[in-house]
Chain A
Amino acid sequence: MKFHIRTLLVLLFLSFTLNACDSAEPDHDHAGEEELITRVVVTLTSGTETVTANANDPDGDGTGFEIDPIVLSSGTTYSGSITLWDDVNLENITEEIEEEDDEHQFFYTVGGGVSDRVDVSITDRDSNNLPVGLTFDLVVSDGGPASGTLNVVLSHFDDQPKNGSDRSDETDVNVTFTISLQ
């Protein structure tokens, strides 16, 4: 009998000493990092004029998400480029898309009052000669002031084949900038 009670006490003791060394305290330097896109930068250049617009979602979760308006001149052709950043992990995601350009495509859609006035055409091609969209031409036709939107979508093609015209079910970026024409 004594023996059994001793066994029990040993078990009890074991279960709590084993616990003494457990800690739930996270490693503040390393735990829980996640790769994501937090900032999209659209740069439009025409001659000496450069327009830069940031869409910045600092945590990637919509908190403090700010999108700069884009102001453009009528009757101007801009050459555009887009860069993507992970400001949490200080990474330039653009390079990774360049490396995997056959699995990605940007889709630029103009809406609102500028849909007849702004035209975007992708200028870069992947190894299969399909559009990528890291660089593009943006043409603003003549006319008075107008306002509308520019929607930028980055589709990731993993299993779904990239055909150059359809989006995939995996959207990495979906941002809508406002555009004002002067």
Chain B
Amino acid sequence: MSVNFARLAGVFILVVLVTGFPCESSAQSVQGRVLDENRMPLPGTQIVIPTLNQGTVSDEEGRYFLDHLEPGTYVVEYRFIGYKSEIRTIEMKSEIVVLDVQMVPENVYLDEAVITAEHQKEAMLKRSTQSVTVLRAADLDSKSGLTLGETLKDLPGVTTLSTGPSISKPVIRGLHSQRLVVLNAGVAQEGQQWGGEHAPEIDPFAMARIEVIKGAAGVEHGVGAIGGVIRLDPPDLPTNESISGRLMLSAFSNNRQGAGSLALQGGPKAIRGFGWRLQGSMRRAGDSQTPDWVIGNSAFQEFDGSVSLGIERDSFHLHAYYSHFGTTLGLFKGAHIGNMDDLLAAIERGHPSVKYTFSYEIKAPKQTINHDLVTIESQFRLDSGDWIEAQYGLQSNRREEYDAHCRFCDEPGKKPAFGLSLTTHTLDLKLRQKPRGKFLGVIGLSGMNQTNTNNETGYLIPNFKALTGGIYTRQTWVQGPLTLESGIRYNYRWMEAFPRNSVSSGEFTLQNHTYSSLTAVVGAVWQFSDHWSLASNLGSAWRPPGVNELYNFGVHHGTAQFETGDPTLGGERNYNVDLTLRHVAEHSVAEISVYNNQMNGYIYLHPQVDPVVTIRGTFPAFIYSQTNAVLRGIDGLLSHDFGDRFGMSVVGSMVRGRDTKSNDHLISMPSDRLTLNGYVSLPTGTRIRESEFHVETLLVRKQNRFPTEIELVEPPSGYALLGAGFKGAFFFGPSLIRFSLDINNIANVAYRDYLSRFRYFVDDPGRNISFRLQLPFGRS
């Protein structure tokens, strides 16, 4: 991704437009506004009349003005990176021609558009008052076949919490799970996020763009947006296009994984504004391997698919999207332990007790997860010029976890140890106001209705039903180089849960909870020079305690912790200040952000003095408790190119977490890390369009800051991983075929990351060679 920024900056002076051509004076002019797909102003759009060699750039409100035009007919071109170029023909007769243009995002199948860095620069410098990182289609393609967590883990401020090779969760600035909001096609993902071993149920293959917003974003994104937001958007639909498609294939050596995705799309001319897409993908992997051991039973397989339909008219959009995610994944057998003594014995041994052999077989312990999403989204323009957006989402999440042996039943893996089924309805309504003077605003309402039920076997969290509502407004004020924003939101949640008072027996008792809160944000972006801007954001977010934090009761496998919930827990609220310095110039791009995240009522597992003694042995006891905590840190990226051929980038992240009540370190904070990346582009011709070598080093420090009384053993040592790769693109007939070959962990280093939950038992995977191929078809 960082490489891509460098490349974008590298083509900075692709088009130099002469705006000051001396012409004969005349009063004729063309003017109007350029808007994006959401009818928001698109500042920095280039407006060009090629025949006159004349052009301009739209201002902050998307307005543009071209004068000194002779009467006659002209072709006007509108260009903006990431959007399809629009072409309009105008006839200059009257003095002023008014022409508003709506730009349509470039869809993923198009090659990188002609990039003019001027607006890229503008857009980057002013894009948000918060620290934001965006992965575009090309960045995603270079990571195709990976899980969501793996896809995001090289971004500044983002790390991964993994439970073996098959489960990885994104961690933003030290926070994860219920402290992040994941937006899947515009709908807040509601999956089973009760533990570190529950990963987001989303297929990155289906996505064309991933945006990571770091820090509190509670006003716009509601409950849970404490650590940040991950926004995943599928590609926009084509309109007025014949059928086209794309096949993507990837293969990985370490776990002998194959992954593939096929997408077909079209926009029949017969129905104006109508488009469709069908997409399906699958992944199948065997056991991962460390340099010395096979990680037994870490195989997985996944089948996903999506259908999208949409119609777009000038004042009306309607989209329907359905996606299915289905995975079966094995959990490393060696991490399946009985009690505390077993865990200590495994830690002391330092490696698995069994020399496993490679296999594709997925045995118990395993998880099967199915997630279905249906969403219908509509936007329409009111007569006043404001837009109303409505989005309804229905999600069904079914999770079944199989224990290594359903204690003494005949066939382990046939009957789940527990199964949960979570159904969520969401409805979001937004009034997106048209710009009024220097103001631009949004007013929103959102509601959620959620039901979770256990099936017959087992029990992890109680059945519950929750209703959540929120109302908010956000206003933006733009004046020249300065943008100010502010917003406020009110949240309410009612929940009824049916916990029981012991692991195995005891009556279910109905318990009711209500929570509410107010959150707010103020922010500013100031572009203080052509190449620099400074953004600051003071935001807050809130979340009520999760049902697991209220009612957990039992042993957490793999850590042998006996965890007990506390039904009296209150909500968790944070105040996040974040300061971001951005720089975009001809050869370099930088974004560095520092933050201080004050969390009041931070919910965590508090260790108890006395262990729990059961018939199975002794377990260290933990109770969910609340404290105040501060997370602060710095992260950023810096990329620089030396002309067209060479470039380099640095991405770094550092987080410090402290419990300010006990004045101790927070557990499970990501260790400091730095990624260094360098590339060399080789000359290209008409047939070979891209050819590039790159090398990458990831340096991770040992985490020396941890609470000594909770952590069982010292965190693992720091490590350095070396990677290299080659990627290319060439024309085969009319199709531009892309491929890449990458080697990760070249030296096959044995290492353990502190945020790998299997670090007690086994190393992280070793060397991995991956190959990717991308075949577009049906387009000229």
Contact = CB atoms under 8 A, between A and B. Distances in A.
Interface of A: 1, 4, 7-8, 11-12, 14-16, 18-19, 22-28, 30-40, 55, 57-63, 65, 88, 93, 96-97, 100, 153, 155-156, 158-161, 167-175
B345 interface: yes
A40 B617 CA distance: 13
Contacts of B427: 11-12, 15
Contacts of B681: none
Contact of B454 (A26, A40, A57): A26
Interface stretch (B44-52, B187-195, B458-466): B458-466
Contact of A15 (B353, B417, B425): B425
B425 A19 contact: yes
Contacts of B353: 159-160, 168-169
B459 A65 contact: no
A60 B463 contact: no
User: Which of A14, A33, A35 has the most chain B CB within a 10 Å cutoff?
Assistant: A35
A160 B612 CA distance: 26
B356 interface: yes
B346 A40 contact: no
Contacts of B405: 156, 158
Of A7, A24, A25, A100, most buried by chain B (CB within 10 Å of CB) is A24
B616 A11 contact: no
A32 B452 CA distance: 13
B612 A62 contact: yes
The 3 closest A-B CB pairs, nearest first, are A171-B338, A174-B617, A32-B459
A4 B334 contact: no
Given A31-B455, A158-B404, A169-B334, A63 B502 contact: yes
A88 B459 CA distance: 14
Nearest to B464: A24
A61 B465 contact: no
A24 B454 CA distance: 9
A96 B465 contact: no
B399 to A, nearest CB: 15
Nearest to B354: A159
Contacts of A36: 407, 503-504
Nearest to A89: B504
A100 B408 contact: yes
A23 B451 contact: yes
Contact of A62 (B380, B498, B613): B613
B612 A24 contact: no
Contact of B456 (A14, A33, A93): A33
A174 to B, nearest CB: 3
A40 to B, nearest CB: 6
A14 B376 CA distance: 12
Contacts of A22: 423, 449, 451, 465
Q: Looking at chain A's contact residues, is the secondary structure mostly helix, strand, loop, or mixed?
A: loop
B398 to A, nearest CB: 15
B380 A1 contact: yes
A88 B504 CA distance: 7
Contacts of A172: 338, 407, 616
A24 to B, nearest CB: 4
B500 interface: yes
B615 A173 contact: yes
A11 B392 contact: yes
A12 B333 CA distance: 47
Interface string B409-444: 100000001100001010101000000000000000
A100 B452 CA distance: 36
A151 B342 CA distance: 15
Q: Which residue of A18, A155, A171 has the most chain B CB atoms within 10 A of its CB atom?
A: A171
B356 A8 contact: no
B449 A15 contact: yes
A12 B418 CA distance: 33
Interface in B441-484: 447, 449, 451-459, 462-465
A22 to B, nearest CB: 4
A32 B458 contact: yes
Contacts of B455: 31
B316 A4 contact: yes
B296 interface: yes
B506 interface: yes
Contacts of B452: 24
Nearest to A58: B505
A100 B408 CA distance: 9
B264 to A, nearest CB: 27
